[in-house]
Amino acid sequence: MFQLKATHKVVKDYFAEIHRLTQLGAVHEGAVAPAFANLLRAAAQPFGWTLAEQYARTGSGGQAVRIDGALLDSFRLARGYWEAKDSADDLDAEISRKLAAGYPQDNILFQSPARMVVIQQGQQVWDAPVETPDALVAGLRAFFTYQPPAFERWQQAVEEFKAVVPELAAALLELIEGERRDNEGFIDAFGRFADLCRAAINRNISDQAVEEMLIQHLLTERIFRRVFDNPDFVGRNVIAREIEEAARALTSQRFSRRDFFRPLDRFYGAIETTAATINDFSEKQGFLNTVYEQFFQGFSVEVADTHGIVYTPQAIVDFMVRSVEALLQREFGRSLADSGVHLLDPFVGTGNFILRVMRHLAEIGRLGSLPQKYAHELHCNEVMLLPYYIAAMNIEHEYYELTGQYAPFAGICLVDTFELAEDIQPSLFAPENTARVQAQQGQEITVIIGNPPYNVGQVNENDNNKNRKYATMDKRVRETYSKDSRATNKNALADPYVKAVRWAADRIGGEGIVAFVSNNGFLDGVATDGMRKHLADDFDAIYILDLGGNVRKNPKLSGT
């Protein structure tokens, strides 16, 4: 699939740009690197790869490194890395320095306008001048066409099993429905599990949605055990433990879990082998997120859409956490690291904001405060099962990485944050989950941070993904934002991010900070004039960085 040729316009443009910059004396790395980045993008396009510039990852020695670029495939696997240098650099010395710093050596291209070096599996496989189009394209071909054996097996597995996973999920659904008719033990266990789901997530949740949660658990449980090297996750996690009880009841009679999933053994093996080649935990997580989205979510796409699942860009998360720290110090004379400063992410997803706060404590030299924070002062909620699993594991892993000690994270709850505003709160899944929710509700919160969903889901495929109703939150929006709006059409106030802002303003009480990333519709929308009025009344200071994103006007901007 390498299609770049010496005669292509992008190659000619590259040499023309390098010549122009040389004439101007602009030969430093920052000036010449963009021209080469354009070449990489053009060569990557036929492969379906994306160039991620300034790519941060964990180096081979455990330290953080930032590489000029990484080529990511559709599963977020890094197919190659790129490090740019200028003509004045001693390229050999720079390569030695970068490799000593922990840069990856599986497939990395070091490049200056005059020379290209490619290292694969720790061996230098290409070193030649690239001052002519033919030489440049030859070096790029060596870089782009290399594929580690594990990745090759993974590609074969993707093609082979893309139809098998949905078929197996459908067979599992048929089996569950049959056991719900004939297996008394499973009937009781499923009923208890469904009741717990309705208590924690949505009182109107359908049996079909509960079945899908059970199927997702069965399909992905092995991944959590093996890929994350966490064989005790199901036993330790309070939610996974409850679901596993229903799964065991399902397998108690005619169903052998091992035999049933045997057709997927090679697929799971390919996932495990590929993940084992990834040293950086966040890269591994990105790969597994994509595996989940493309294979195991499958029949639950509608559920995902109603919740508006998005992954917040890391740069935005970094900015928000640092901004909260700065404002805490300036406005309240406190720090995120201080005892008594409680932080809540009400829509935690896979845990990115909590992870960033934990790293922030280390960055500001306050890592000693993390055990107290982790045990008592970091809180988060998630309504969907698989993101909840992933967030719990991510947060526990990050704590281990930072402290060298494992401790379960008790600050995460499987619960719908908006439901917490309702007057009646039934038992929320397991007793431990209920206790966590109650402890969170009784706690004064100093900081609320996160990315509210752009949809709120019914968790029911039969309702055409309509956003569900929340009596208390809808009433609060009605009696504040809607009441004081002069607009005739107030449909925009039904957006979940509007509910999230209303909920957060109520929850934070008399003192604290709310930091959300949302679409920008409330800034000048006709229907949100009442919302703007109440924000001005509720808060002493409001800081807005408008990135120009509105998911309602451009769905591709989800989460911006």
Half-sphere exposure of 369 (CA within 13 A, CB side): 21
Ordered domains of the chain (ranges, CATH): 9-147 (3.90.1570), 157-306 (no CATH), 310-452+469-557 (3.40.50)
Q: How far is CA 558 from the centre of its chain?
A: 13
3-state DSSP call for residue 256?
A: coil
Q: How confident is the model at residue 558 (pLDDT cuts 50, 70, 90)?
A: very low
Nearest residue to 108 via CA among 60, 143, 134, 135: 143
Q: How confident is the model at residue 202 (pLDDT cuts 50, 70, 90)?
A: low
Q: How confident is the model at residue 465 (pLDDT cuts 50, 70, 90)?
A: very low
pLDDT: which is higher, 332 or 174: 332
Q: Residue 71 carries which DSSP code?
A: E
3-state DSSP call for residue 284?
A: helix
The stretch 496-506 carries a mean pLDDT of: 92
Does 307 have pLDDT greater than 50?
no
Tell me which residue has tokens 């057709």: 263
Does 151 have pLDDT greater than 50?
yes
Per-residue model confidence (pLDDT) at position 137: 96
Does 535 have pLDDT greater than 90?
yes
pLDDT: which is higher, 136 or 292: 136
φ/ψ bin of 351: left (φ > 0), alpha (ψ from -120 to 50), beta (otherwise): left
- Least reliable range by pLDDT among 273-287, 332-346, 434-448: 273-287
Averaged confidence pLDDT in the chain: 84
- Which residues lie below 8 Å from residue 260, measured CB to CB, with a gap of 6+? 168, 172, 175
Q: How confident is the model at residue 64 (pLDDT cuts 50, 70, 90)?
A: confident
The stretch 227-249 carries a mean pLDDT of: 73
Greatest CA span in the chain, whole angstroms?
82
- Least reliable range by pLDDT among 22-36, 181-195, 219-233: 219-233
* In the chain, % of residues over pLDDT 70: 86
Does 143 have pLDDT greater than 80?
yes
Residue 58 phi, psi dihedral angles, 5° rounding: -85, 130
Q: Which of 74-83, 116-125, 166-175 is the most confident on average?
A: 116-125
Residue 125 phi, psi dihedral angles, 5° rounding: -110, -10
Per-residue model confidence (pLDDT) at position 394: 85
Per-residue model confidence (pLDDT) at position 152: 82
The stretch 296-300 carries a mean pLDDT of: 53
Could you tell me if 310 and 558 are in contact, meaning their C-beta atoms sit under 8 angstroms apart?
Answer: yes
Strands 64-72 and 78-84: antiparallel
The stretch 275-304 carries a mean pLDDT of: 68
Q: How far is CA 500 from the centre of its chain?
A: 20
The stretch 425-438 carries a mean pLDDT of: 66
Q: Which helix (H) or strand (E) holds 515?
A: strand 513-516
- Residue 417: count of CB within 10 angstroms of its CB: 29
Side by side, the strands of the sheet bearing 78-84 are 50-58, 64-72, 78-84, 107-112, 115-120, 123-129
Does 170 have pLDDT greater than 90?
no
Opening angle at CA 164, ends 163 and 166, nearest 5: 75
**CA 341 – CA 378 distance, rounded (Å):** 9
Q: How far is CA 150 from the centre of its chain?
A: 24
Does 463 have pLDDT greater than 60?
no
**CA 468 – CA 285 distance, rounded (Å):** 30
Q: What is the pLDDT of residues 72-110, one digit of tens each?
A: 988 888 999 999 998 888 999 999 999 999 999 999 999
Q: What is the pLDDT of residues 365-414, one digit of tens each?
A: 999 999 999 999 999 998 877 788 788 888 988 898 899 888 889 999 88
Q: Residue 474 carries which DSSP code?
A: H
* In the chain, % of residues over pLDDT 90: 40
**CA 12 – CA 22 distance, rounded (Å):** 15
Does 553 have pLDDT greater than 60?
no
Does 259 have pLDDT greater than 90?
no
Per-residue model confidence (pLDDT) at position 218: 83
Beta-strand ranges (E) seen in 324-475 are 343-345, 378-382, 412-414, 447-450
Does 464 have pLDDT greater than 80?
no
Q: Which of 79-93, 273-287, 467-481 is the most confident on average?
A: 79-93
Does 297 have pLDDT greater than 60?
no
Per-residue model confidence (pLDDT) at position 461: 33
Q: Which helix (H) or strand (E) holds 107?
A: strand 107-112
- pTM beyond 0.85: the answer is no
Per-residue model confidence (pLDDT) at position 502: 94
**CA 219 – CA 555 distance, rounded (Å):** 30
